């Protein structure tokens, strides 16, 4: 499967690929513990790819759901990437996962890190949103909207004590991501590790779309956008500091946020219309994420 051909039928492909090139040029992939191999040389075995992460990796609601407990789709970005590269995929991404689900159980599910081994070649990690309380934060903001729909009640609430609570949660999550990457490296010492950031949820220009489908106050869109950017910046920083690559999925998804109409958006609004979870990537969004990771991997020849 050619992901570029697949996204060619989706609106905004030029923007997607342009953004992916930005991510490609900006990203430095770790080669620690790897030995160079020619891109054209035959591989001795199939590449072993393990996908770790939360609902932005698992693809909740997107047909076909192959793991109902984790709300995992066979059309999520790890599945699309593995198919495009003909890699052997072990996908343990799970909705609701935090960094604690990496080393500890998530319900009846074993620790995600258990999927890694000495023979693992590639790892993607999509994590951090739940650690800052992504879903509950949005629910709080939506609940405050009716009190001041043209103002910024969400921002006022989270900064009322003189400290931005959401920014603090992002900062508090940084050492957890660092510890997670260290644990990944210990379990899979020869793997290429990619931290995959979060796509653009809210209009990048800060202009909102307050409605029944997106019940957020007009003045809070810029605040929520900035919070997401801080989360992604933290993930990029921790990736760089811990020998991993960072994949920027935000830049290529600008213009496809939850405020855009159906057919143009890659993120569903809080009242989802497409088969996907609210405020999460729909099928096109997962395709875009897969294409961005694929493009990032093309930046330099894959090394084992």
Mean pLDDT of 181-190: 98
What was the pLDDT predicted at 300?
45
Mean pLDDT of 248-265: 98
pLDDT band at 33 (very low <50, low <70, confident <90, very high): very low
* Res 15 pLDDT > 80: no
Whole-angstrom Cα distance, residue 103 to residue 122? 18
Measured in degrees and rounded to the nearest 5, phi and psi for residue 213 equal -80, -30
DSSP class per residue in 101-142:
HHHS-BTTBPPGGGG--TT--EEEEE-STTTTTHHHHHHHHH
Whole-angstrom Cα distance, residue 71 to residue 56? 11
pLDDT band at 297 (very low <50, low <70, confident <90, very high): confident
Active site residues: 55, 280
Token couple for 8 = 């060619």
Q: Does residue 164 contact residue 233 with C-beta atoms inside 8 Å? A: no
Whole-angstrom Cα distance, residue 88 to residue 233? 30
Tell me the pLDDT tens digit for each residue of 216-235.
999 999 999 999 999 999 99
Q: Which pTM was predicted?
A: 0.86
Whole-angstrom Cα distance, residue 166 to residue 188? 32
Q: Does residue 51 contact residue 65 with C-beta atoms inside 8 Å? A: no
Task: Give the orientation angle of helix 77-85 with respect to helix 283-297, to 10 degrees.
Answer: 50
Mean pLDDT of 64-85: 98
* Res 134 pLDDT > 80: yes
Whole-angstrom Cα distance, residue 262 to residue 256? 10
pLDDT band at 44 (very low <50, low <70, confident <90, very high): low
* Res 188 pLDDT > 60: yes
Q: Does residue 26 contact residue 240 with C-beta atoms inside 8 Å? A: no
Mean pLDDT of the chain: 88
* Res 124 pLDDT > 80: yes
First to last CA, the chain: 22
Share of the chain above pLDDT 70, in %: 84
Q: Does residue 277 contact residue 65 with C-beta atoms inside 8 Å? A: no
Whole-angstrom Cα distance, residue 103 to residue 70? 17
* Res 88 pLDDT > 70: yes
Share of the chain above pLDDT 90, in %: 82
Listed in sequence order, the residues at least 6 apart from 232 whose beta carbon sits closer than 8 Å to its beta carbon are 197, 198, 248, 250
């Amino acid at each position: 499967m050619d992901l570029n051909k697949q996204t060619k039928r989706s609106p905004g492909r030029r923007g997607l690929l342009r953004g992916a090139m930005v991510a490609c040029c900006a990203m430095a992939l770790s080669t620690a513990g790897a030995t160079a191999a020619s891109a054209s040389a035959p591989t001795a075995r199939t590449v072993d790819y393990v996908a770790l992460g939360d609902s932005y990796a698992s693809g909740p609601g997107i047909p076909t759901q192959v793991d109902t407990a984790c709300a995992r789709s066979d059309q999520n970005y790890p599945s699309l990437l593995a198919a495009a590269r003909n890699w052997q995929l072990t996908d343990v991404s799970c909705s609701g996962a935090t960094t604690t689900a990496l080393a500890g159980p998530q319900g009846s599910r074993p620790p995600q890190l258990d999927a890694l081994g000495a023979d693992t070649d590639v790892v993607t990690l999509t994590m951090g949103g739940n650690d800052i309380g992504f879903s509950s934060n949005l629910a709080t903001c939506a609940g405050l909207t009716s009190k001041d729909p043209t103002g910024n009640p969400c921002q006022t609430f989270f900064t009322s004590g003189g400290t931005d609570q959401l920014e603090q949660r992002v900062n508090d999550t940084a050492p957890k991501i660092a510890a997670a990457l260290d644990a990944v490296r210990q379990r899979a010492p020869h793997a290429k590790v990619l931290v995959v950031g979060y796509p653009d949820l809210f209009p990048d220009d800060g202009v909102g779309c307050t409605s029944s489908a997106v019940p957020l106050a007009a003045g809070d869109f810029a605040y929520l956008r900035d919070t997401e950017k801080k989360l992604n910046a933290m993930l990029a920083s921790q990736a760089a500091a811990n020998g991993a690559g960072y994949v920027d999925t935000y830049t290529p998804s600008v213009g496809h946020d939850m405020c855009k109409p159906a057919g143009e958006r890659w993120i569903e609004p809080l009242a989802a219309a497409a088969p996907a979870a609210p405020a999460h990537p729909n099928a096109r969004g997962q395709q875009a994420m897969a294409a961005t990771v694929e493009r990032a991997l093309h930046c330099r020849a894959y090394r084992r």
